Amino acid sequence: MKIALMDSGIGLLAAADALRKLRPDVDLVLSSNPASMPWGPLTPEEVTELALGCCRAAAALEPDALVVACNTASVHALATLRAELEPGLPVIGTVPAIKPAAALGGRVAIWATPATTGSDYQRGLIRDFGGTADVTEVACPGLADAVEHGDEDATAAAIADAAARTPHGTDVIVLGCTHYELVADRIRAAVAPTASPALALLGSADAVAAQALRRVADPTRTGTGTLTVLHAGLPATLPPTATLYPQGLTLAPVTA
């Protein structure tokens, strides 16, 4: 079994790690374009073009499913990607975990990139699945880029800024960008002093991984646990910053 994931950069590590835990034999294709980051300030058309490039490169390796492991790309490009690649290649988008967060009730804060925060897409999810939860959108400028580059000072500053704008007594934080899942522990530590004692952080990686495996036409097909990395469609290796995060360390150091 081979599953491809695309993202602007290393945010796809969270879903890749989740897939590896569910299916240690899965062959993974990680397709990104880190030189083009950050995608947040780009127009929807620019994001769509970059996402198409990453997905076409991954699709050429004939995976059984493709995960759009990027919230910004899912917001702006998912419909276009599915129109081009499905039904031959199942395409799984990444949706902020608003529905399960709202089911827990109380105060919910959605941490997301400025491009996702306030978008019609996210507002629609809040309207459709927010229920009676008290939902606050928290834009996190610079956080994804800081995580991508392993910049500890910039990461700490961006998390502190977002934490200061997160309402006191927050019960659930939705990690609405895949990069944020890589620093979930640091986010929890920053918010904990003013949050609910039972604070929950919800990402999308586990749900996306499970959905990708459900969409594979032949789930009995096995792989050999290889890892293929593409940057802008060209063969590459995991960047050194990937090893700064637990999800990067768990990926098998085998390159196809």
Catalytic entry in 54, 55, 140, 177: 177
Q: Is the pLDDT of residue 241 over 80?
A: yes
Are residues 153 and 229 both part of a single domain? Answer: no
| DSSP count for the chain of H helices, then E strands | 10, 10
Are residues 102 and 189 both part of a single domain? Answer: yes
- Give the per-residue pLDDT at 195: 95
Are residues 121 and 108 both part of a single domain? Answer: yes
Are residues 87 and 61 both part of a single domain? Answer: yes
In a domain, 255, yes or no: no
Q: What is the pTM of this model?
A: 0.93
Are residues 114 and 88 both part of a single domain? Answer: no
- Give the per-residue pLDDT at 252: 55
Are residues 196 and 120 both part of a single domain? Answer: yes
Are residues 194 and 150 both part of a single domain? Answer: yes
In a domain, 161, yes or no: yes
CATH number of the domain residue 144 falls in? 3.40.50.1860
Quote the CA–CA distance of 172 and 71 in Å, as a whole number: 19
User: Which of 202, 219, 235 finishes a domain?
Assistant: 202
Query: In this structure, are residues 11 and 34 in contact, taking their beta carbons and an 8 Å threshold?
Result: no
**Number of domains the chain is built from:** 2
Is 55 an annotated catalytic residue? Answer: no
In a domain, 256, yes or no: no
Are residues 184 and 217 both part of a single domain? Answer: no
Are residues 116 and 190 both part of a single domain? Answer: yes
- Give the per-residue pLDDT at 201: 97
pLDDT digits (tens, 9 = 90+) for 21-49: 999 999 999 999 999 988 878 888 999 99
In a domain, 65, yes or no: yes
Are residues 42 and 22 both part of a single domain? Answer: yes
Are residues 102 and 192 both part of a single domain? Answer: yes
Domain that holds residue 129: 98-202
- Give the per-residue pLDDT at 256: 47
Catalytic entry in 54, 55, 70, 140: 70
In a domain, 171, yes or no: yes
Is 140 an annotated catalytic residue? Answer: no
Q: For the stretch 163-195, what's the b/e string if a residue is b when 16 or more beta carbons lie within 10 angstroms of its beta carbon? A: beebeeebbbbbbbbbbbbbbbebbbebbeeeb
pLDDT digits (tens, 9 = 90+) for 87-119: 999 999 998 999 999 999 899 999 999 888 888
